[in-house]
């Protein structure tokens, strides 16, 4: 984690907005809260008005269980219930499917809707996607 250098850059460039992907363990991990290394870092990042933190969720190109994806979203949203200083402002979906099918569209729409409906995710509830090819 490059938190010190990143914080210095955030502080020095307050006229720019940053979206920071928070990825404790290829997602939020197995615990209901981030580990002790992440807690103070997220709090520091969220203290900057020009920083927006988003939780990392992998979709394995639409092949990961939708229930697991929704659970990751719920875990990130639950962080705010414990401490408002570690709330997320959205979700970054990695390995989003890049080949359109009706099933994949429904899968991603359901995930997107879960982000928008999550009471523990603040602000504009950003949902962003990395849909690079798995054939790389």
CB 88 within 8 A of CB 54: yes
Distance CA 52, CA 45 (A): 8
Q: What is the pLDDT of residue 64?
A: 96
CB 43 within 8 A of CB 80: no
Distance CA 72, CA 66 (A): 10
Mind listing the pLDDT tens digit for each residue in 12-26? 677 888 899 999 999
Q: Tell me the pTM.
A: 0.89
Distance CA 76, CA 86 (A): 9
pLDDT at 46 over 80: yes
Mind listing the pLDDT tens digit for each residue in 92-116? 999 998 888 999 999 999 999 999 9
């Amino acid at each position: 984690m490059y938190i010190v250098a990143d914080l210095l850059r955030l502080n020095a460039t307050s006229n720019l907005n940053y979206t920071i992907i928070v990825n404790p363990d290829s997602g939020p991990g197995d615990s209901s809260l981030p580990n002790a290394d992440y807690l103070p870092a997220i709090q520091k990042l969220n203290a900057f008005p020009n920083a927006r933190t988003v939780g990392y969720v992998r979709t394995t190109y639409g092949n990961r269980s939708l229930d697991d994806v929704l659970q990751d979203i719920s875990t990130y949203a639950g962080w705010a219930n414990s401490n408002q200083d570690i709330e997320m402002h959205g979700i970054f979906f990695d390995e989003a499917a890049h080949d359109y099918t009706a099933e994949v569209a429904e899968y991603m729409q359901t995930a997107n809707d879960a982000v928008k409906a999550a009471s523990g995710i603040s602000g504009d509830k950003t949902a962003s996607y990395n849909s690079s090819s798995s054939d790389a």
